[in-house]
Structure 1
Amino acid sequence: MEAIRAYYAADREHDRLTRGLGIIELARTLDVLGRILPPPPATILDIGGGTGTYARELLRRGYAVHFLDAMPVHLERVKADPELQNLASATLGDARELPYPDASADATLLLGPLYHLQEASDRAAALAEAYRSLRAGGVVAAAIIPRAAMIFGDFSRDLPDEAYCRPMREHTYRTGRQENPEGRRGYFTSAYFHHPAELLAELKGAGFEDVQLYALEGPAAMLTDKAAVTNDPVKREGVMSACRLLEHDAGIFGFSPHVLGVGRK
Structure 2
Amino acid sequence: MVDLDPLIHEFYRDRYVEDDRLIRSGHGRLEFVRTQELLRRWLPPASDVLDIGGATGIHARWLAADGHQVTLVDPVVEHVEQAATAGTFTAEVGDARQLRQADASVDVTLLLGPLYHLVEASDRAQALSEALRVTRPGGLVIAAGINRYGGLIEAGSNGHLSPDNLHLFTEPFASGRNDGKSGFTVAYFHHADELSTELTTAGLTDVEVLGVEGPAANVLQNTPTDDVDALLPAATLLARHVESDPNLIPTSFHFLARGTR
Aligned residues: 253
CA RMSD of aligned residues (A): 1.7
Partner of 2:6: 2
SS at match of 1:46: strand
Structure 1 residue 239 corresponds to structure 2 residue 249: no
Whether the 8 Å CA contact 2:210–2:257 is kept in 1: the answer is yes
Task: Tell me the TM-score normalized by structure 1.
Answer: 0.90
Structure 1 residue 262 corresponds to structure 2 residue 261: no
Whether the 8 Å CA contact 2:207–2:258 is kept in 1: the answer is yes
Partner of 2:52: 47
Partner of 2:32: 26
Partner of 1:38: 44
Partner of 2:197: 201
In structure 1, distance between residues paired with 2:260 and 2:64: 22
Whether the 8 Å CA contact 2:180–2:187 is kept in 1: the answer is no
In structure 1, distance between residues paired with 2:52 and 2:6: 19
In structure 2, distance between residues paired with 1:24 and 1:217: 6
TM-aligned CA distance change 1:161 to 1:99, over 3 Å: farther
1:27-106 equivalences under 5 Å are 27-40=33-46, 42-80=47-85, 84-87=86-89, 89-106=90-107
In structure 2, distance between residues paired with 1:132 and 1:103: 6
**Which ranges in structure 2 are unaligned for 5 or more consecutive residues?**
none
Picking from 244, 247, 257, the partner of 1:251 is 247
SS at match of 1:66: strand
Q: How many angstroms does 1:154 deviate by?
A: 1.5
**Which ranges in structure 1 are unaligned for 5 or more consecutive residues?**
none
SS at match of 2:247: helix
SS at match of 1:14: helix
SS at match of 1:147: coil
SS at match of 1:218: coil
Q: Which moved more, 1:91-100 or 1:6-15?
A: 6-15
Q: How many angstroms does 1:228 deviate by?
A: 4.5
In structure 2, distance between residues paired with 1:127 and 1:180: 24
In structure 2, distance between residues paired with 1:146 and 1:248: 14
Structure 1 residue 175 corresponds to structure 2 residue 196: no
Q: How many angstroms does 1:171 deviate by?
A: 1.4
Whether the 8 Å CA contact 1:44–1:66 is kept in 2: the answer is yes
TM-aligned CA distance change 1:31 to 1:226, over 3 Å: farther
Partner of 2:111: 110
Task: Tell me the TM-score normalized by structure 2.
Answer: 0.92
TM-aligned CA distance change 1:5 to 1:237, over 3 Å: same
Identity %: 40
In structure 1, distance between residues paired with 2:189 and 2:105: 30
Structure 1 residue identity aligned to 2:251: F
Partner of 1:214: 210
**Superposed CA offset, 1:39-62 (max 9, x none):** 11x100000001101000001100
Q: Which moved more, 1:217-226 or 1:188-197?
A: 217-226
Q: How many angstroms does 1:159 deviate by?
A: 1.8
